[in-house]
Amino acid sequence: MNQLSATLSDGQFILVYNVLSLGLASMLFTSIFLFVARERVLPRYRLAVMVSGTVTAIATYHYFRMFDNFNHAFAGMTGNNPAAYNVGYRYVDWLLTVPLLLVELVAVLALARAAQSSMLNRLVPAAAAMILLGYPGDAHLTVFGISDPGIWGLLSTIPFLYILYVLFIELGKSLSRQSKAVQTKIKLLRILLIATWGVYPITFILAMGATGFDPSRFVAREVGYSIADILAKCLFGLIIFSVARIKSAEDDKEFAKSEFKDE
């Protein structure tokens, strides 16, 4: 691969290094916590908590790879080869984790089996399509003769809007049957999802116009994606766990007594 002349300053290198390390630690320990914490909810909510832990575990693997790849590509500030940095890890990670995030959200509601699978049959393919259509734009690849990153960004927005429609209109209907406390948390999850998923296209657009290697755009992209990942996966998974715990206590008075002293 061709060496590019532009490179990261020491400060930029340390910033991306620290953010990737923060992402790695957040993912790893959220996973460990969620896998152990599944016992603190009723059996019917455990799959949702396990899927949340699987999402952060998948992301842990990819953050390990990105961290090593970043260190290799920029050779600890002394020499560097930005072209060796592979944004594909993020997209492979998202291809696996984003559909699973939607599975968590639907699973924790413990809807009837038919309603659950009808919702997932639409959300999961839409999430996969959204990620697959974004990759060529972010990696500056020409696929099917399309080389303009903006076109891939636009195509990727179509399944994104469809997901929002399903979450806000369709899921909204089944929310009325949940308790006030659960409704509040689910609404928070949806807002978190929109706010963090909104960071990805903004970051994508910021990085889009670069020709060759642009250090500040590179740093903005890596920092933006990492922070959004931590919110969208770790925080999201922990809220899923707290919804599962509230619903467990609501469903079963004995469980509530054994888990919370005052009830």
Please report whether residue 157 would count as binding a copy of itself according to CB under 8 A. Answer: no
SS3 category, 221: helix
**Identity at 109, one-letter amino acid code:** L
Q: Does residue 141 touch a copy of itself according to CB under 8 A? A: yes
Does 146 bind a copy of itself (CB under 8 A)? Our answer is no
107 with 47: CB under 8 angstroms?
Answer: yes
Residue 195 sits in the site that holds a copy of itself (CB under 8 A):
no
Q: What tokens were used for 135?
A: 């990759």
The single-letter code of the amino acid at 95 is L
- Residue 159 CA to residue 128 CA, distance in Å, equals 9
Distance CA 201, CA 199 (A): 6
Task: Mark 53-72 with x for binding to a copy of itself (rule: CB under 8 A) and - for no binding.
Answer: -x--xx--xx--x-------
168 forms part of the interface with a copy of itself (CB under 8 A):
no
Among 7, 26, 156, 203, binds a copy of itself (CB under 8 A): 26
- Restricting to residues 217-246, which ones interact with a copy of itself according to CB under 8 A? none
Backbone angles phi, psi at 213, to 5 degrees: -100, 120
**Stretch 83-112 residues interacting with a copy of itself (CB under 8 A):** 83-84, 86, 88-89, 91-93, 95-96, 110-112
Using only the alpha carbons of the chain, give its radius of gyration. Answer: 20
Q: Residues 76, 125, 198, 212: which binds a copy of itself (CB under 8 A)?
A: 76
CA distance 46 to 185: 18
For residue 28 the two structure tokens come to: 């790893």
What does the binding site for a copy of itself look like in residue numbers (CB under 8 A)? 1, 10-11, 14, 17-18, 21-22, 24-26, 28-29, 32-33, 35-40, 42-44, 46-47, 50-51, 54, 57-58, 61-62, 65, 76-78, 83-84, 86, 88-89, 91-93, 95-96, 110-113, 141, 251, 258-262
